[in-house]
Structure 1
Amino acid sequence: MDYLSVVVALVVTIASIAIIHLLTRANKPCPPNLPPGSLGLPVIGQSLALLRAMRGDGGSRWIRDRIDRYGPVSKLSLFGTPTVLLAGPAANKFTFFSSALSTRQPRSVQRILGEKSILDIHGADHRRIRGALLEFLRPDMLRTYVGRIDGEVRRHLEENWAGRPTVTVLPLMKQLTFDIISALLFGLERGAARDALADDFTRMLEGMWAIPANLPFTAFSRSLKASRRARRVLEGITRGKKASQLLEHGNGKASSNSNSDLITCLLSLTDDQGDQLLTDEEIVDNAMVALIAGHDTSSTLMTFMVRQLADDPVTLAAMVQEHEEIARNKTDGDQALTWEDLTKMKLTWRVAQETLRIVPPLFGNFRIALEDTEFDGYFIPKGWQVFWTANVTHMDASIFQEPAKFDPSRFESQTMSAIPPCSFVAFGGGPRICPGIEFSKIETLVTMHHLVRQFRWKLCCKENTFVRDPMPTPLHDLPIEIKQRTAP
C-alpha cells in the first residue's frame, strides 16, 4: 500500500468514526454539570495538541493555559476517551485515594505493555500483583542489591566515561540503568540478547503516548512491533527459568536463588493451594512495566542532576564533601558501597527530590471512573478518564516559594512538614504509589557517589531546554566535557 492510499484510508476511517460518534452522541442526554471545556474532534480530541506541546516546551505551558482558561477542573478528550483534567493538591488526593477511580492507561500503553500489568488492574488482582512485586523489593532484599548495582556502576564508568573528553549523558544513563535492570530483574547477562532487547525497548517507548492507530509509518505501529519482539524475549526467559525451577524440584532440590532476579522471584511465589501465584502472562506484562519504571525514570533523573550540578558549584561542592566523607569513613579497605553508606547520602537525595520536583520524569497519569462520581461540584461520568499532572503542584508558588529556583533545602523534614499533602507527587501517591521508589533511590545514590568523586564536567550546550517524548529529554541528549577528578 503506497503512502497516498494510507492517507486516504486514515481519512475515511476517521470520518466514519466521527459520523458514528456524532449520531450516537446526538441520541444521548448530556450528563448534568460536566466540567467546562470541549471534547474537540471525535477520536482525536486534544491528543495532538498535547503531544505537540510536550515536544515543544514539555507540555507545562499547555496545561497552565488550559487551567487559566477553564479552571482546575475541565473536560477534554485524550487518546480517544473523554477525560477530566484535575489540578491541585486536593485533586491529587482525590485521584490517588478515591475508591471510585482506578488506574487507566491510554489504549496505546495498554497494547504495548499488555492487559495484565499492575498499571491497569484493580481490586484483589492489583493487591495480589503488587504484593508479588514488593516481595522482590523487600528491604532485606534491597540491601543485597546495593553491591551488585555498585559493581555495574563502576564497570560502566570505567568503560564509557573514563579517559574521554566528551560524553553524551542521557544515552549513557539509559545504557547504565538498562544494564542494571537486565541483570537484577531478568538475570540477563551482557551479549546479543541484551543488546537486541535494549534496541526494542527504545523503539517501544516511542509510541507509548500516541493515537492507537496501527497504521504503517506511525510511531505506534513501530512500538507495537518492538513490543512483540521484547515480549518474546521475556517469554523465553520466563520459560527457561520455569523449566530450571521444575528441574530443581524434580531432583528434590530447594531453589537457592529464588530472589536472584525478578522473574525467578515471581515464578517462585505460590498461593495457599501451592499453585503459581501469577500466571506467565502476568509475569511478562509486569516485567515489561518494571523494565520501563526501573530504567527510564532513573536515567532521566540522573541526567537532569548532571545538568543541574554543571551550573551549580555550591550544591556540587556540598555533594562532593558528603561523598568524600563517606569514602574516608570506610575502614574495611573495600570501597564498594553498602546499604549503611546510602543512608548517609541525605543531601544527595534532597538534590534528587528537587530535580524531580522541577523536571518530573512522569508528566502525568490516568485514572478511570469505575462509577459516576464528582469532584469539586463537577460530575465525572462512569468510564471517563481522569488525568492528573505533577507539574501543576510542583511549580505552584503558593506551595513552593520561588518554584523555578533550585533549592534542595525544600526537602528537609521541617520544611516539608509545612507542605500540603499530595503536593510533591513525582512518584504518584496513595495505594498505587510507585513500588520501586527505594530501588530507584539506590540506583541514583550509587551512581552519583561515583560520578561526583571521579569526574568534573561542564555543559557543551548552554541552552537550558528540554522536550518530552514522552520522558523529558534535554537538548541534544546533554553532551558534556569531562575531566578525571584528582584525588583530594
Structure 2
Amino acid sequence: MNPSFTVFLFLVLIFLLLVKGRKSSNKLPPVSLGIPIIGHSLQLLKAMRTNTAEKWLHERIQKYGSVSKLTLFGKPTVFIYGNEANKFVFTSDSSTISYSQTTSLKMILGDQCIAELCGQDHKRIRDALLSFLKPESLKNYVGKMDEEVRMHMETHWKGKQEITVLPLMKKLSFDVICSLLFGIEQGGSRRDKLVTWFQQMIGGIWSVPINLPFTRFNRGLRASARVRNFLKDLIAEKRMELKKGADPHQDLITCLLSTRDENNGEGMTEKEIVDNVILVLTAGHDN
C-alpha cells in the first residue's frame, strides 16, 4: 500500500474519533468546544498574560450566558457563573457533581488543596482555614499588616516622583502574606528566594501542561517542588515553636498545625497543610 495513502487513512481515522467523541448532547450547555485539544486555551492564556482575563470572562457571559462549555488544556470544561452556581458546586457531594482544576493547576498546587476536595473533606479543610480568620485572631494581625505597609511605603513610595503601582501592590501583598501566613521576617533572604520560586510557579499554573525541559510548565513544576521543600522545613520549625509554647494563632501554619478535627480529633497532614498554604498564597497574591 502507498505510504502516503496509509498516512491519509490514519489521519482520517483520528479525525473521525475526535468528531465522534465531541458530539453534542441536548443535556450539554451550548457553544462549541472549539478546536480539538487546544479549544479555548490560547485565548485564555493570552487574556491572563495581558491581565484581561476578567474582561474575557465577562464578554463570554454576555455572549453565551451564565452556563456554557469550552475546552481548556485538552479537557472538556463547563463554565458557570453566579452565586447560585457557586453554591451548587461547593455544597454538592461527589455523587451529585465533582469538580477538578486544570492539569497544570492540580500538579503545581497539589491535589489536597480545598479547591480539589468535595463533601466532608472540603468542609474539614475549610473549617481549619476559617479558624485562622476568627475575629479574635484577626486583631493580632492588624499590627503586622500595619508594619508591613509602613515599611513598604518608606522603601518604595517615599520621595519617588513616579511609581508603577501594580507590581508594587503585588509586592506588598506578598510581603503581608509572608508575615501572616509564614511569620517570615522582613529583609531576610528567605523572602527573596520564595518570591523568585513563587513567580516561576505562577507562570506554570496557566500554561499548556507539557512537561518538557525549558517549557513554562516544567519551570513551574520545579519551582513548586522548591516551594514545597521550603514549606516542609518551615512546618518543622513551627512544630518546634509550638512545643516551646508559641501562640498557635501567630500565623497560618501554626494555626493549621494546632487545628484538630471535631469528629476524630486528628490534625491535618503535612501534605494537606503544604497544598493549602500554597493555594492561599496563590489566591492572595493574584487578588
Taking structure 1 as the reference length, the TM-score comes to 0.50
Structure 1: stretches of 5+ with no match in the other structure:
1-15, 249-254, 298-488
Which of the numbers 102, 108, 115 marks the counterpart of 1:106?
102
1:147–1:65: structure 2 CA closer, same or farther, 3 Å change rule?
closer
> Is the 2:44–2:56 contact (alpha carbons within 8 Å) kept by the matching residues of 1?
yes
- Tell me which of 253, 260, 280 is aligned to 2:250: 260
Identify if the C-alpha distance between structure 1 residues 257 and 172 changes in structure 2 by more than 3 Å, giving closer, same or farther. Answer: same
Write out per-residue CA displacement over residues 46-80 of structure 1, whole angstroms, 9 at most, x where no aligned residue: 21123224445714665566556655433221122
Q: Specify whether residues 92 and 121 from structure 1 end up closer, same or farther in structure 2 by C-alpha distance, changes over 3 A only.
A: closer
The alpha-carbon distance between structure 1 residues 83 and 145, as it changes in their structure 2 partners (threshold 3 A), is same
Given residue 273 of structure 2, which amino acid in structure 1 is its aligned partner? I
- Aligned partner (choices 217, 220, 233) of residue 220 of structure 1: 217
Structure 2 counterpart of 1:33: 27
Structure-2 separation of matches of 1:41 and 1:274: 48
AA at the equivalent of 1:194: R
The residue aligned with 1:128 is: 124
Deviations 1:376-402 (A, max 9, x none): xxxxxxxxxxxxxxxxxxxxxxxxxxx
State the secondary structure of the residue aligned to 1:36: coil
In structure 2, the partner of 1:6 is none
Cα distance change on mapping 1:280 and 1:89 into 2, 3 Å: closer
Number of aligned residues: 275
1:211 deviates by 1.8
Structure 2, unmatched stretches of 5+, are 1-9
Residue 231 of structure 2 corresponds to which residue in structure 1? 234
3-state SS in 2 of match to 1:115: coil
1:119 aligns with 2:109: no
8 A Cα contact 1:136 1:265, kept in partner: yes
| Mapped partners of 2:51, 2:183: distance in 1 | 38
CA deviations on 1:391-419 (whole Å, 9 max, x unpaired) are: xxxxxxxxxxxxxxxxxxxxxxxxxxxxx
Which residue type is aligned with residue 151 of structure 1? E
2:278 is aligned with 1:288: yes
**Cα gap change, 1:179 to 1:124, in 2 (>3 Å):** same
Q: Distance in 2 between matches of 1:57 and 1:158?
A: 28
Q: Which residue of 2 aligns with 1:144?
A: 140
Over alpha carbons, which structure has the higher Rg?
Answer: 1
Structure 1 residues 32, 208: closer, same or farther in 2, change over 3 A? same
Deviations 1:138-188 (A, max 9, x none): 011001111221111112111221122222222222222212111221111
Contact conserved, 2:260 with 2:267, CA < 8 A, in 1?
yes
Alignment of 1:366-405 (within 5 A): none
Between the aligned partners of 1:123 and 1:68, the Cα distance in structure 2 is: 32
More helix per residue: 1 or 2?
2
* Cα distance in 1, alignment partners of residues 242 and 200 from structure 2: 32
- Return the TM-score normalized by structure 2: 0.82
CA distance in 2, matches of 1:75, 1:92: 16
In the alignment, the residues of structure 2 paired with residue 217 and residue 257 of structure 1 have an alpha-carbon distance, to the nearest angstrom, of 43
Deviations 1:203-250 (A, max 9, x none): 21112222211123322122111111111111110122224434x3xx
- Larger RCO (alpha carbons 8 Å, 6+ apart): 1
Report the aligned-residue RMSD: 3.1
Alignment of 1:177 with 2:173, yes or no, is: yes
CA distance in 1, matches of 2:42, 2:281: 27
User: How has the CA–CA distance of structure 1 residues 24 and 295 changed in structure 2, closer, same or farther, with 3 Å as cutoff?
Assistant: closer
CA contact (8 A) 1:37 1:74 kept: yes
Kindly report which structure 2 residues correspond to 1:34-433, keeping only aligned pairs within 5 A, or say none. Answer: 34-55=28-49, 58-59=52-53, 62-63=56-57, 66=60, 70-87=64-81, 91=85, 94-95=88-89, 100-190=96-186, 191-246=188-243, 248=244, 255-271=245-261, 276-297=266-287
User: C-alpha separation between the residues in 2 aligned to 1:36 and 1:28?
Assistant: 13
Give the Cα–Cα distance (whole angstroms) in 1 for the partners of residues 271 and 247 of structure 2: 22
1:258 counterpart SS class = coil
Query: What is the correspondence of 1:476-487 to structure 2 with a 5 Å cutoff?
Result: none
Look up the SS of the partner of 1:85 in the other structure: strand
CA shift, 1:43, in A, is: 2.3
The AA in structure 2 aligned to 1:180 is: V
The share of aligned pairs that are identical, in percent, is 48
User: What does the per-residue CA deviation read over 1:9-30, in whole Å, with 9 as the maximum and x for residues that have no partner?
Assistant: xxxxxxx9x9779538748986
Over 3 Å counting, the alpha-carbon distance change for 1:266 and 1:41 in structure 2 is same
Aligned partner letter, 2:228:
R
**Residue type at the aligned position of 1:267:** L
Following the alignment from structure 2 to structure 1, what is the Cα–Cα distance between the partners of residues 54 and 241? Answer: 49
1:236 is matched by which residue type in structure 2?
A: D
Deviations 1:353-379 (A, max 9, x none): xxxxxxxxxxxxxxxxxxxxxxxxxxx
Question: For the residues of structure 2 that align with 1:293 and 1:59, how far apart are their CA atoms?
Answer: 15
Equivalent-residue separation in structure 2 for 1:159 and 1:57 (angstroms): 26
The structure where strand makes up a greater share of residues is: 1
